[in-house]
């Protein structure tokens, strides 16, 4: 008997109309946006796969929770509920709320890095690395080589290469390292998980070298799901148990609650180190807000608390990843080059193989994003040479091996028919790929340039 269909474990109670503006209007909008999808008006977008960040649909319980916001300046009851949820799910006793993930990254980097120290990471995330560098830290990529190869089907491409860590210690000494920054389900690698076995090994290594692991646990839910599905010995564990197990290897974590935690804004830092917590509490009041709100409204903290429990319900996580894989498999079966294995939060088009006639310095992924929008009104995000930025020392572009277009799937928002529209647009573009031309950058901000850079067609 063929496998039976499993539907989403929820139904739709409220809808938000969207529309596809005509092709000529899309071409005009893209020109006005300087071929940067970040500069489009969302009203001109039909299906918005720019990001899964802050774009989730909240549940009826979360919406009801908003009405329970305690907007007291100090000691809001919603803070204590958030603190309890983070303790329950992540297992860290101390919690500092922040306005979003980068607020927690800022505080962590400022407290934990002395200028000149190294911060090894499994690949990089744009804001995380920016904050490390602002604190005088030096990012070192210690992810396994497979992560840089979009065709490698390694099941845990987020893993750390211990040989790279050993090399760093041998050359520079363990004292030159501030901490290990480990991302769960590595965003820039295509939403690729770490295995528990790797985590265990890295943790043992870190202990030997007296170094702390601080997670970027922004997408730990999807990572835990992949461990459950792929790693021997975890099939009978719940996603929630696996999350706790993973986090047990860290001294703390920073989280953008805008992803896993099913809310539109928020973040936090959590730790088991009382000293780190004290310093973070002192610093949060300067940059975010009092330590019981950290830049959030009471109602926001209530929604995060509820989302933190909802996010690790097994049926929900399975349906979330299944939708991402539905889109990925349609593209893969149609011959479109994508990053494999298909990731947890999105499908990543491999722009190098999609547009082999374009060199990396004419921004193939940026050009492909623009073409996708003009074709169908679908908005995606460049994750290639524009996102990588320039080398601090030489001022030259960094040329990452991965030149990707990220089709990021918001949680609980779109149906699989929307995914079909996206797939058909990508397939049509792939068919006419030789007509897609490169771009030249005509405006470039100094920091995180991908957000605001502008381009012209060659």
- 44 or 216: whose CB is closer to ligand F0G? 216
- Beta-bridge partner residues of 443: 454
Q: Of 102, 379, 383, 406, which residue is the catalytic one?
A: 383
- What x-and-dash track marks residues 168-207 binding ligand F0G by CB under 6 A? ---------------x---x--------------------
| Pair of tokens at residue 242 | 């696996």
Query: What gap in Å lies between CA 370 and CA 378, rounded to an integer?
Result: 9
225 is a catalytic site residue:
no
Q: Assess 258 for contact with ligand F0G (CB under 6 A).
A: yes
Q: Assess 228 for contact with ligand F0G (CB under 6 A).
A: no
Interface segment toward ligand F0G; rule CB under 6 A; list 22-30, 97-105, 271-279, 284-292: 97-105
Q: How many H-runs (helices) and E-runs (strands) does the chain carry?
A: 16, 14
| Pair of tokens at residue 64 | 């009801």
Cα Rg of the chain (Å, integer): 21
- 358 or 366: whose CB is closer to ligand F0G? 366
124 is a catalytic site residue:
no
Question: How many of the other CB atoms lie within 10 Å of CB of 100?
Answer: 22
Q: Does residue 405 sit in helix, strand or coil?
A: strand
Identify the residue among 65, 150, 190, 267 touching ligand F0G (CB under 6 A): 267
| Pair of tokens at residue 239 | 């996603």
Query: What gap in Å lies between CA 269 and CA 222, rounded to an integer?
Result: 19
- 103 or 337: whose CB is closer to ligand F0G? 103
- 127 or 430: whose CB is closer to ligand F0G? 127
Identify the residue among 35, 90, 92, 125 touching ligand F0G (CB under 6 A): 125
- What x-and-dash track marks residues 337-356 binding ligand F0G by CB under 6 A? --------------------
Interface segment toward ligand F0G; rule CB under 6 A; list 78-86, 95-103, 301-309, 449-457: 95-103
| CB 401 to ligand F0G: min, Å | 19
- 187 or 376: whose CB is closer to ligand F0G? 187
Query: What gap in Å lies between CA 53 and CA 33, rounded to an integer?
Result: 21
- What x-and-dash track marks residues 36-75 binding ligand F0G by CB under 6 A? ---------------x-x----------------------
Check whether the bond before 341 is cis (ω within 30° of 0).
yes
Query: What gap in Å lies between CA 339 and CA 349, rounded to an integer?
Result: 6
- 389 or 438: whose CB is closer to ligand F0G? 389
Check whether the bond before 96 is cis (ω within 30° of 0).
no
Q: Assess 216 for contact with ligand F0G (CB under 6 A).
A: yes
| Pair of tokens at residue 286 | 């300067």
Helix axes 220-230, 239-247, angle to 10 degrees: 110
Contact present, 127 and 99 (Cβ < 8 Å): no
| CB 256 to ligand F0G: min, Å | 3
Burial bucket for residue 68 (CB in 10 Å: 0-12, 13-18, 19+): middle
Q: Of 52, 161, 216, 300, which residue is the catalytic one?
A: 216
- Interacting residues toward ligand F0G by CB under 6 A: 51, 53, 100-102, 125, 127-128, 183, 187, 216, 218, 256, 258, 267
Task: Give the residue numbers marked as catalytic.
Answer: 73, 125-126, 216, 259, 383, 450
């Amino acid at each position: 008997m063929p496998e039976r269909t499993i539907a989403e474990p929820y139904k739709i109670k409220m809808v938000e109309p969207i529309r596809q503006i005509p092709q000529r209007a899309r071409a005009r909008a893209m020109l006005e946006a300087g071929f940067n999808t970040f500069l489009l008006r969302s009203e001109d977008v039909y299906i918005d796969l720019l990001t899964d960040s802050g774009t989730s649909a909240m549940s009826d319980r979360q919406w009801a929770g908003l009405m329970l916001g305690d907007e007291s300046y100090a000691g809001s009851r919603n803070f204590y509920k958030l603190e309890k949820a983070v303790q329950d799910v992540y297992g860290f006793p101390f919690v500092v709320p922040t306005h979003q993930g980068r607020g927690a990254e800022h505080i962590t980097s400022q407290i934990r890095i002395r200028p000149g120290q190294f911060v090894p990471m499994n690949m990089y995330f744009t804001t995380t690395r920016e904050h490390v560098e602002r604190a005088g830290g030096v990012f070192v990529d210690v992810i396994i080589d497979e992560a840089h190869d979009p065709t490698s089907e390694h099941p845990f491409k987020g893993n750390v290469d211990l040989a790279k860590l050993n090399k760093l210690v041998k050359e520079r000494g363990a004292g030159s390292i501030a901490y290990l920054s480990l991302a769960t389900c590595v965003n820039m690698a295509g939403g690729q998980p770490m295995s528990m076995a790797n985590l265990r090994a890295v943790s043992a290594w870190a202990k030997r070298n007296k170094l702390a692991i601080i997670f970027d646990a922004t997408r730990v839910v999807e990572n835990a799901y992949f461990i459950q599905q792929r790693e021997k010995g975890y099939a009978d564990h719940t996603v929630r148990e696996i999350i706790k197990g993973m986090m047990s290897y860290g001294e703390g974590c920073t989280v953008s609650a805008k992803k896993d935690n099913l809310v539109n804004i928020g973040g936090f830092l959590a730790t088991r180190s009382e000293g780190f917590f004290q310093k973070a509490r002192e610093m949060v009041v300067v940059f975010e807000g009092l330590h019981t709100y950290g830049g959030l409204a009471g109602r926001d903290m209530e929604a995060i608390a509820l989302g933190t429990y909802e996010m690790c319900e097994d049926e929900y996580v399975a349906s979330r990843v299944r939708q991402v894989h539905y889109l990925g498999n349609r593209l893969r079966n149609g011959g479109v080059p994508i990053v494999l294995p298909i990731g947890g939060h999105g499908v990543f088009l491999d722009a190098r193989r999609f547009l082999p006639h374009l060199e990396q310095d004419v921004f193939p992924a940026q050009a492909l994003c623009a073409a996708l929008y003009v074709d169908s009104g679908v908005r995606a995000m460049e994750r290639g040479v524009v996102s990588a930025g320039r080398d601090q020392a030489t001022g030259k572009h960094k040329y990452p091996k991965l030149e990707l277009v990220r089709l990021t799937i918001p949680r609980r928002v779109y149906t699989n028919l929307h995914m079909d529209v996206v797939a058909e647009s990508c397939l049509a573009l792939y068919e006419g790929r030789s007509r897609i031309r490169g771009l030249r950058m005509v405006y470039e901000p100094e920091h995180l340039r991908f957000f605001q850079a502008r381009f012209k067609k060659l």
